[in-house]
Amino acid sequence: MHLTAFDSAAFLRQYWQKRPLLIRNPWQSWANPLEPDELAGLACEEEIESRLVLRTRDSWKLEHGPFSEKRFGKIGKRPWTLLVQAVDHHVPAVAELIDAFRFVPNWRIDDVMVSYASDGGGVGPHFDQYDVFLVQGLGRRRWRVGAVCNGDAPLLPHEDLRLLAEFEAAEEWLLEPGDILYVPPGFAHDGVAAGDDCMTYSIGFRAPSRGELIGQWCDHLVEHLADDDRYADPDLSPQANPGEIAPGAIDRLHAMVTEALQDRAAFARWFGAHATTPKYPDVDWRPDEAVDLSAGLEGAAALVRNPASRFAFVRQDADRLDLFVDGDRFACAGPVAVFAERLCAESRLQLAGYAPETAQTLALIAALIERGSVMVDEEGVS
């Protein structure tokens, strides 16, 4: 699915991480990609993260899935919302929504959460620490957007939900099917279903915090540091006061820490693997039998990426790059690097007329198939 009459460069320049934007039905032809009953079915599955938010006059209640089919028939007349995470991993038509937002780098994309709400249903006023595009799929939802919040914003007392105790709307819109609301990080917002059968697709983007990056990068470094890499002072001389930690010692100790942290190449290798580690690795495309590509890929229509897999690359120079797939690193050069770039750019890579295959390219494809990160579709173009 693609957007028409939408200037992505202008959007990034004027709105991205700056201010909210309502985009009235920019799709070439909008069609809701998932039926409510199908969403409810996903919420009944053990391996899929789902939540149910129920609203009464003075309180909110949160339930975690999986849910039984009978649960939905016992909710009653109070407003409610069903939230199902990472639906793009399980429904190809939902995964196709992400293609419209590829003007944001792939490594920033998190997943597509889908919500269904009864009349008056919502999750309450809140703010997120990441960018989100809210695509109205079915029915109507009234969105109100307020001021920018931070960690000091007062919250309602609740064990599970982070709801704002104070919320004042600055802007308000009623979204129809196909409309999109972009909300930058930190902006308070509240969406309430205006009628039954309200479905919203939330395309969220990851934004690692400085604390997360430092902590996880340091954890990785510590795992690979030798135990005998220790402080040394062979030029030690007597000092006036033995209680002082001398400037020279501080310099040495500080260098021991900062030199390891400042290895940019090592950081790039770590972050490529870290950023592509699947959040929900349960969608298993691993083949039942061993894959033999020794005869090449003649007749194959396309190489299709597992929607639950993550692909990215870090360029080394004009001819070499590191490909990262689901947390694994593959060093690529020459024609293999060209192939890896195409694979990262296209979720479905047409192989007809593809440049001559090399043994290294076939070996890479076979490794990705064995891992369940891609599959060969011989049925033709979808």
Does 72 reside within a domain? yes
Does 39 reside within a domain? yes
On whether both 47 and 167 belong to a single domain, the answer is yes
On whether both 125 and 218 belong to a single domain, the answer is no
Does 2 reside within a domain? no
Does 238 reside within a domain? no
Does 1 reside within a domain? no
Rounded to whole angstroms, how far apart are CA atoms 344 and 313?
A: 7
On whether both 132 and 185 belong to a single domain, the answer is yes
pLDDT tens for the chain, 382 residues: list them: 778 889 999 999 999 999 999 999 999 889 999 999 999 999 999 999 999 999 887 789 999 999 998 998 888 888 999 999 999 999 999 999 999 999 999 999 999 999 999 999 999 999 999 999 999 999 999 999 999 998 899 999 888 899 999 999 999 999 999 999 999 999 999 999 999 999 999 999 999 999 999 999 999 999 999 999 999 999 999 999 999 999 999 999 999 999 999 999 999 999 999 999 988 877 788 888 877 776 666 666 688 999 999 999 999 999 999 999 999 999 999 999 999 999 999 988 877 655 556 788 888 999 999 999 999 886 644 4
On whether both 249 and 166 belong to a single domain, the answer is no
Helix (H, G, I), strand (E, B) or coil at 199: strand
| Domains in the chain, number | 3
On whether both 150 and 91 belong to a single domain, the answer is yes
Does 3 reside within a domain? no
On whether both 179 and 56 belong to a single domain, the answer is yes
Does 240 reside within a domain? no
CATH number of the domain to which 153 belongs:
2.60.120.650
On whether both 185 and 312 belong to a single domain, the answer is no
Residues 6+ apart with CB under 8 A from 279: 86, 110, 111
Name the residue range of residue 134's domain: 8-205
CATH number of the domain to which 362 belongs:
3.40.366.30
Whole-number pLDDT of residue 243: 96
On whether both 30 and 108 belong to a single domain, the answer is yes
On whether both 91 and 168 belong to a single domain, the answer is yes
Q: In 3D, which of 112, 121, 31, 111 has the Cα closest to residue 72?
A: 121
On whether both 145 and 14 belong to a single domain, the answer is yes
Rounded to whole angstroms, how far apart are CA atoms 308 and 335?
A: 26
- Kindly list the distances between the CA atom of residue 269 and the CA atoms of 166, 220, 264, 359, in Å, as whole numbers in the listed order: 43, 11, 9, 25
Whole-number pLDDT of residue 57: 76
Answer whether 145's CB lies under 8 Å from 169's CB.
Answer: yes
On whether both 256 and 273 belong to a single domain, the answer is no
Whole-number pLDDT of residue 349: 85
On whether both 151 and 218 belong to a single domain, the answer is no
Whole-number pLDDT of residue 102: 93
Whole-number pLDDT of residue 381: 43
Q: Backbone dihedral region of 115: left (phi > 0), alpha (psi from -120 to 50 degrees) or beta? A: beta
Secondary-structure percent of the chain, ordered helix, strand, coil, rounded to 5: 25, 25, 45
Q: What angle do CA 131, 135, 140 make, to 5 degrees?
A: 130
Helix (H, G, I), strand (E, B) or coil at 25: coil
Does 13 reside within a domain? yes
Q: Where are the alpha helices (DSSP H) in 119-245?
A: 210-224
